[in-house]
Amino acid sequence: MTSPVLPARNCIQISSRKGCRVIRGDITLPETLRGILHQDDFIIHLVGIIEEKGPATFQAIHVQGTRDLVAEAKKAGVRHFFYQSASVQTRGHGQDT
């Protein structure tokens, strides 16, 4: 299991499990993802945000960050890539509930 960019508390829990490798990186900085994946990795990609703050936008995190990670996985020959995302929907002013 490879987990780029996790809060430190989660890394400790995951890295203590047999067969797991935690890798630190930043989904918004493609250079931190280069060369970190191996062909036999099983990527579990759960990165996401609920609210945009500063440079942490849906486009930067969910779209471009995922594209960059998929590109690195392809370069490394990774055959297993699990992706899950959350979608936040808001109702506009005046819409029926």
Confirm whether 42 is domain-assigned.
Answer: yes
**Model pTM?**
0.72
Q: What is the pLDDT of residues 17-60, one digit of tens each?
A: 667 777 777 888 899 889 989 999 888 888 878 888 888 888 99
pLDDT, residue 1, reads: 42
Under a CB-based contact definition with an 8 Å cutoff, are residues 77 and 36 in contact?
no
Would 40 be classed as within a structural domain? Answer: yes
**Parent domain of 40:** 8-83
Residue 1 belongs to a domain:
no
User: What mean pLDDT value characterizes the chain?
Assistant: 77
Q: Is residue 53, in this structure, part of any structural domain at all?
A: yes
What is the number of domains present in the chain? Answer: 1
Q: Which residues contact 23 (CB under 8 A, 6 or more apart)?
A: 2, 3, 4, 36
Give a yes or no: residue 89 inside a domain. no
* Range list of H helices, 8-80: 8-15, 58, 66-76
